[in-house]
Amino acid sequence: MRAPLRHAVRLFPALLLLAACERAANAPADSIPESSAESDSSALGSANPGWNADAGPMLLVASDVPGVAEVIFPEVTDSTLGDSTLMDLAPVRGARVELFSRRGDAGRALVVGEDTTAEADSAEEESCEAWPLVRLRAESGASGAWTAGLIAARARALALDSIEGLSRADSSRLARDVARLAAALPEDTARAFRGLPYFVRTVRRFRPAPGVEALIADVSRRINQEANPREEQILLIAERDSGSNAWTVGFSERASGQEGSVETHDVLAAVSVGDARRPSIILGRYVGDGIAYSLLERVGPREWRVRWTSATSGC
């Protein structure tokens, strides 16, 4: 099966030195232990918790092929990925879905059936765990570029504003702000990174509530040793009141290790979910050849949490 589309990011340097650190906090993983799933009831008993039911019964993620989407079943765990009883596409066929991009609403589409063209070309590919694929038919007004989708009428788009779209002065100021926020985060204890500059990989701004401005950023530090290159990745969300210059971090997580093996992130979309309009971010998490998806949720002013993380697909 085709691997999910990986979205390239451009590095944006921010000058800042700081006393360095590390908390070897790897990506959130399913907390449900593997159990015997010989019956439907036992499989459901070990379902992946945390998904917001108001968001609907599935998450769609754009694939490499236009008009084809991955179907992410929220209850599936690493140990049940591929279980046909938990990944039945019958209820999905004919569903009308809302599509989102980082810029906001990308229109609607209809799920017209399963995509069966992505056959494995080798025994190695056949051993990879992958989500099922479906074909979509865009409705009038839908844009071609989208990243994530939900059942129609379950969420509204929140537009994300990239740092790359700002003026040079504004982008430099925002990068410095983000670097300072990263420098002030707790649990920074790894001596190996002490004194190294932060590099702001991406920053995206949005408005989760009236009068509130928020940002989600990826920040990294690197040790460029040929024999042992290492890197640290930090994901953070911060908020401030409109008109204020002071950002407050409402969420952060860090991971470090060998360069190329540390988890990186890709923000797919921001939405407000359900009648409560709960601000949420749909996030891709890349580790090696695998990818998982997370739902980050705003639970209060300047307070965010990882509500749910999917099973990891890949080889």
Contact 77, 30 (CB under 8 A): yes
pTM over 0.85: no
Alpha carbons 100 and 194: distance in angstroms, whole number:
39
Looking at per-residue confidence, does 192 or 150 come out higher? 150
Task: Judge whether 120 and 1 are in contact, CB under 8 Å.
Answer: yes
Contacts 24+ apart (CB under 8 A), 238-244: 238/178, 238/181, 238/214, 238/302, 239/208, 239/212, 239/213, 239/214, 239/215, 239/301, 239/302, 240/212, 240/213, 240/214, 241/211, 241/212, 241/213, 242/211, 242/212, 242/213
pLDDT beyond 90 at 16: no
Higher pLDDT among residues 124 and 284, named by residue: 284
Tens digit of each residue's pLDDT (9 = 90 or more) over 220-276: 999 988 778 899 999 999 999 988 999 999 999 999 888 888 999 999 999 999 999
Whether residue 133 contacts residue 1, with contact meaning beta carbons closer than 8 Å, is answered with yes
* Separation between Cα atoms, residue 2 and residue 206, nearest integer Å: 31
Q: What are phi and psi of 165, to 5 degrees?
A: -90, 0
The reported pLDDT for the residue numbered 229 is 87
Cα–Cα distance between 115 and 70 in angstroms, integer? 10
